[in-house]
Structure formats: structure tokens, C-alpha cells
Amino acid sequence: MTDRIIIQRVLDGDVEAFSGLVDRHYARCARIAVRIVGNREDAEEAIQDAFLRAFKALGDYEDRERFSAWLTRILVNQCRTVLARTKRRDALFAELDPRWLEFSVAADLDEGTWPELEDVLERLPADQREAIVLKYADDLTYEEMSRITGAGESALKMRIQRAFARLRAMLQEVPSV
């Protein structure tokens, strides 16, 4: 069943049909939110709020845009809200010791996940982290990313480029063979 059919069912009063959208998109939203906000608890809250906002606004959804991209736009906004709140919260605590960022890359290319990357993502500026997560975790085009973030495509490309430069530096990359 397509997203469009599920949405129509929900708008026709079948609330439970919305679980089809949750099941289909939750894992993707989790990949995005955890990387953007940096921890599971805040990510779960952002995702719940995003789905709830999407449900309430479903009557405004226009199917000329992919539902996944529409939902991602809502999710990114919720993540930004969470980040703004946690930034205020974290400001109450002492600054982190930058030495904890001194990682060495365990260059196991067969691994699907890269724990050190998850850690250093948090140290990227929020706009660069958001851009690289949307680009690679959600496989969005620059045009879609532009609609979601409100930034221009060239600005997004620059953010990705700068994000990679920082990641390489932080992960102490050895030049590729």
C-alpha cells in the first residue's frame, strides 16, 4: 500500500492506518534524528513530535511532494527545537574537555557502523551535521535538502564539503590507499 493510499485512509477517518506510515518511516527517522540530536532520548522525543505534527497536519499534505521528504522536513524542525533546548541545558554544565575527541580510526572497512564517527558527528557545527546526515542517512537530493533545510543548494554542498574536511581531521584519517 502506498503512502498516498494510507494518507487517504487516515483522512477518511481510519486513524489506525497511520501506523502503516509509522512502521514504514520510523527506522529512517531514527537514523536521522539520533545523528542530528546526538542521543536516543532526545531523538525519540523529536520523532514522536514529528509524527504527531505530521498526523495533525495531514490535511495540508500535498502529494506533489514525497511524503518521506515532507515528514523529514517536520522531523528536522523538531530536531532543531530539541537541539536549541539541549543547548540551553548543556550550557549549565562545564565545557567538555576537547582531548576526548582524539580518536584513532580503526580502519575496518567491512564494518557497517563506525562508532567513532557517531561520536565526532556531535562535534560538527549543527548545520554541517544536519546536511551530512540528510545527504547520506536519508539519501536525499540537494534539491530536497534545500526544501527541507531552507538553505540553498550551493550552501549545502559547501556544508558537506566542510563537514568532510572536519570529519577527516577529527578522525585522523590516513590518506586512502
Partner 1 sequence: MSDWFERRVARSLQANVPLSGDERARRGVMDRVRLAAAEGHPVRRRRADPWRRSRNSILGLSLAAGIGGITTLSVVAPDARPAASALSSVVIGDTVVATLRDTLRLVRLMFDAPDARRVAVAGDFNRWNSNATPLTRENGSREWSVTLALRDGKHRYAFVVDGTRWVPDPRAERSAPGEAGRIYSLLNVSRATN
Chain contacts with partner 1 (rule: CB under 8 A): 9-19, 22-23, 26-27, 30-31, 33-35, 40, 43-44, 47-48, 51-52, 55-60, 109, 111-114, 117-118, 132-133, 136-137, 139, 161, 164, 167-168, 173, 176
The DSSP string of the chain is --HHHHHHHHHTT-GGGHHHHHHHHHHHHHHHHHHHHSSHHHHHHHHHHHHHHHHHTGGG--TTS-HHHHHHHHHHHHHHHHHHHHHHHHTTSPPPPGGGG-------TT-S--HHHHHHHTTS-HHHHHHHHHHHHS---HHHHHHHH---HHHHHHHHHHHHHHHHHHTTPPPP-
**CA atoms of 116 and 118, how far apart (whole Å):** 5
**CA atoms of 63 and 84, how far apart (whole Å):** 31
**CA atoms of 103 and 119, how far apart (whole Å):** 10
The distance of closest approach from Cβ of residue 97 to partner 1 in the complex, given in angstroms and rounded to an integer, is 25
